[in-house]
A and B are shown apart, each in its own frame.
Chain A
Amino acid sequence: MIRASRQQAVLALVAIAALLAMPWLVTSDYYINIATQIVIAAILAMSLNVLVGFGGMISLGHASYLGVAAYLTIYLSTHAGVGALGSALIAIGATTLLAMLFGYLALRASGLGFLMITLALGQILWGIAYRWASLTGGDNGLGGPIRPRPFGIDLMNPTAFFYFTLIFLVLAVWLISRFVQSGLGQSLQGARDQPRRMRALGYNVWLIQWLSFVFAGFWGAIAGMLYAYYHQFVSPQALHLTTSAETLLMVVAGGTGTLFGPVVGAALVVILKNVVSAYITRWLMLLGVVFVAIVLFMPEGIVPGLRRLRETMKMRPASSAEASLPAAEERTT
């Protein structure tokens, strides 16, 4: 256990160093922008993973928090004349309040019912954004130059903005890992595995799950604020079921219940999406095919799935002891 966490810490440091060095390694704005997209998607996927991976609650409405925070951030600063910091704080606060309400409603059910309620609530939000054109701009969306200038730093510069989002990713990794190890996070995992036993032990399972839901919504809102800054535009697409599904795919693809799985998943999905859109327009089709393929062939996610594949590849040629040794070592993570 100690070894595993040290290994993870080393891995995290290496990853962060690589990300910090990124703008020196690639000089093209195009790639830096993709890296920024990955960072934002990673924050969103990590927040959903609190529910899916650690809580066992599959939400198909996580785009709600991304979209609502993005709409509020842009609306407040371009239409309501609120300052940049004020817009961001109000947007995140209001979105967290929304998560409180949605969490209350969705947690009236569990399992499939939870999934259905989150999906329905998310699509109703999408419908509001789409139809309430006088407020949201309808299908045309809302936009405007809203990237702030904190301490006089010009965030219109892609590299500067990349570092800006990276700060939030580091914060998210740190605070979400703290959350997972905390008493609340541990009891959330207990409630995932043995809800009745946890109840019998005197834990308020509902409250644990609700607080986690709100926590996830809060980080979803942070991702939404960054999304608004990055695109400087938001349309109903940000709230749509496909966005929720993409986020869930990041979590499932990377491996649920691991801290870094969603980050890997976010990178895979964003890169795939950018590469594919450059050649064909069939992203939705591919998204569907990937979903079906992952469920059928790699139900445990790409990262653990590849590890399993590699292990079976290693095992197959040799039935001797030397083949089984490295496989045993990998179990520590």
Chain B
Amino acid sequence: MNFWVIQGLNGLAFGSLLFILASGFSLIFGLMRIVNLSHGAYFMLGAYVGISAMAAGASFWTAILIGGVAIAVLGAVIERLILRRLTGQPLAQVLVTLGIAFIIADACVWIWTGDPRPVPMPRELAGAFRIHQLAFPIYRLFVIGVAFTLAAALWFLLERTRLGAMIRAGVDDLNMARAMGIRTSVLFPVVFCLGSALAGAGGVLAGPILSVYPGLDTDMLPLALVVVILGGVGSLLGAFIGSLIIGFIYSYGQALFPDLAYMILFLPMVLVLTLRPTGLFGRQAI
């Protein structure tokens, strides 16, 4: 019994981290039709920046902020200087983001060496939460709380604000949205920066759980892709449910069949692509 609860909470925590990564990825893909293959690299770079900020004396919370802002700025520069020049060439954009992912990954090895780096936990969240005989790290509960808060905030942004209405219009029909006078040249950078910031800050937040190591980027990126395939393109709810499903599968799989944890990831993909190629909550096929 304890095992199922603990692993369920672990799955929830991992799914929460995935959601922070995948929600930005999904928004960018849904609106801009850019498959940002740098997204995993943003996540890793954000974590490394956070480590350096903490080493320089910043608190954990400031480090999250610095990680997020740094990656948002990087995202803005890449969007403005490179991706915008390739508007209307989705495949060229994908290849560029892949190239940038490699450059970032190698630069990280260069700067922070190839050794895995542990990320210190904020002192106020160290320790375990106890109920009956169960003990669960408080930090993981905190991460779950952050992801649910973020999900609510993003839902409010998308469903209840003017900016969100413009984003939803763009996701549904970009040309029609343009024709109605929505300025995509403003909308695109905002969404790309938002997604990048989430990836960067998410990397720092994930640090105490996953630690930071070369290869973290290519570990996380395919999971984000699977989440989007599973949940549906540009759907916030899809990204949320998809992240939790993958989080549970990964966590239980890791504990029950450590050798085959990755093999089990095929299962949701095979099921969804066979039965519902639009993803669980998507309105259009990917």
Contact = CB atoms under 8 A, between A and B. Distances in A.
Interface of A: 58, 60, 105, 108-113, 115-117, 119-121, 123-124, 127-128, 130-135, 240-242, 245, 248, 252, 282, 284-285, 287-292, 294-296, 299
Contact of A120 (B91, B94, B222): B222
Contacts of A248: 95
Interface in B219-273: 219, 221-222, 225-226, 228-229, 258-263, 265-266, 269-270, 273
B153 to A, nearest CB: 26
Contacts of B229: 113, 116-117, 120
A128 B100 contact: no
A120 to B, nearest CB: 4
A113 B286 contact: yes
Nearest to B270: A105
A121 B229 CA distance: 11
A292 B273 contact: no
A291 B98 contact: yes
A127 B263 CA distance: 8
A296 B218 contact: no
A115 B90 CA distance: 11
Interface of B: 29, 33, 35, 37, 82, 85-86, 89-92, 94-96, 98-107, 109-110, 218-219, 221-222, 225-226, 228-229, 258-263, 265-266, 269-270, 273-274, 277, 285-286
A120 B225 CA distance: 6
Top 5 A-B residue pairs of the complex, sorted by shortest distance between their CB atoms: A291-B99, A288-B102, A113-B286, A127-B262, A123-B222
Contacts of A285: 102-103, 106-107, 110
Q: Which of B98, B104, B107, B274 has the most CB of A within 10 A?
A: B98
B259 A291 contact: no
Given A132-B260, A289-B103, A117 B90 contact: no
B106 A284 contact: yes
Nearest to B91: A58
Given A115-B35, A284-B105, A60 B266 contact: no
Given A112-B90, A285-B106, A121 B269 contact: yes
Contacts of B37: 119
B101 A288 contact: yes
Nearest to A294: B95
A202 B266 CA distance: 33
A295 B33 contact: no
Contacts of A119: 37, 221-222, 225
B102 A284 contact: yes
B102 A245 contact: yes
